[in-house]
Amino acid sequence: MLAQELAQELLGDPLDELDSSEPEPSAVAAECDLGLMLLQGGEQPGGREQRMQGLRIFCEHRDPRAVPLLLPLLRASCPILRMSAVYALGRNPSPEAVEPLLALLAGDDNGYVRKAVAWSLGNYPDAPVLNPLIRALQLDIAAVRLWAASSLADAGGTGPAKADPAAAQLLLSLRIDSEPAVRSNSAWGLGRLYADLVEPRQQEVVEALLHTMLSDAESSVRDEARLALEQLEQPDVLERLQTLVDEGLL
């Protein structure tokens, strides 16, 4: 029953519904006021549905007033509420959320919740999220690994000290992960981290992406590796790509 309910709810997974458009500030303010009322009314009859509506609002909009109402929902018995609260705290990052989010990534028994945490932690690059994301990319299910790979690019993009261990794990996942989507996100993440890496690691990234572009069994992964290489905008890399084109290997 729970699996069916989660599947139905996830037809409208908040992660899939995030809107990149910019509405009018007055409309956002009114919607956030409504979201706060809905979250506060969660103890009333029909409260779960009100909370879900409020959570969807704060998956789209930022308002620091929402954080104290979101944090307790990380402990909700319903995994759908926990998952939605996690997404909302990814949209509304707060230092107070770091510890409970990391606890959910390490110990929540629901994969949808851990997937949400893996995405949300990408919005906490200055928090101690690097090692937890690396462990998730090593050990968790595919959906969690996919978002852990993306979030590692954000967590590692704050300087060489974090970029190098993040890149090391992404290089490993690019080579050995069984899921093409995880390998694709690893290639994308390596492209994002390239500028923060020192020269020996940069060269390793280029060679790994070239190998993936030529040898991976999945065309989507090969395409992502090629795009990552092109976006480096390094003349020597672009020259190598052109040579491969001229030789008919691409």
Question: How do residues 42-89 score in pLDDT, each as one tens digit?
Answer: 666 567 888 899 999 999 999 999 999 999 999 999 999 999 999 999
**In the predicted structure, residue 21 carries a pLDDT above the cut 70:** no
- pLDDT for 17 equals 56
- pLDDT for 9 equals 47
The pTM of the full predicted model, rounded to 2 decimals, is 0.85
Which of 243, 205, 239, 244 shows the shortest CA–CA distance to 225?
205
Q: Are 82 and 101 in contact (CB under 8 A)?
A: no
Q: What angle do CA 18, 131, 227 make, to 5 degrees?
A: 55
Q: How far apart are the first and last CA of the chain?
A: 48
Residue with tokens 């992960």: 177
**In the predicted structure, residue 2 carries a pLDDT above the cut 50:** no
Q: Are 125 and 158 in contact (CB under 8 A)?
A: yes
Q: Are 190 and 170 in contact (CB under 8 A)?
A: yes
Q: For 191-226, b where at least 16 C-beta lie within 10 A, e where not — what string?
A: bbbbebbeeebbeebbebbbebbeebeeeebbebbb
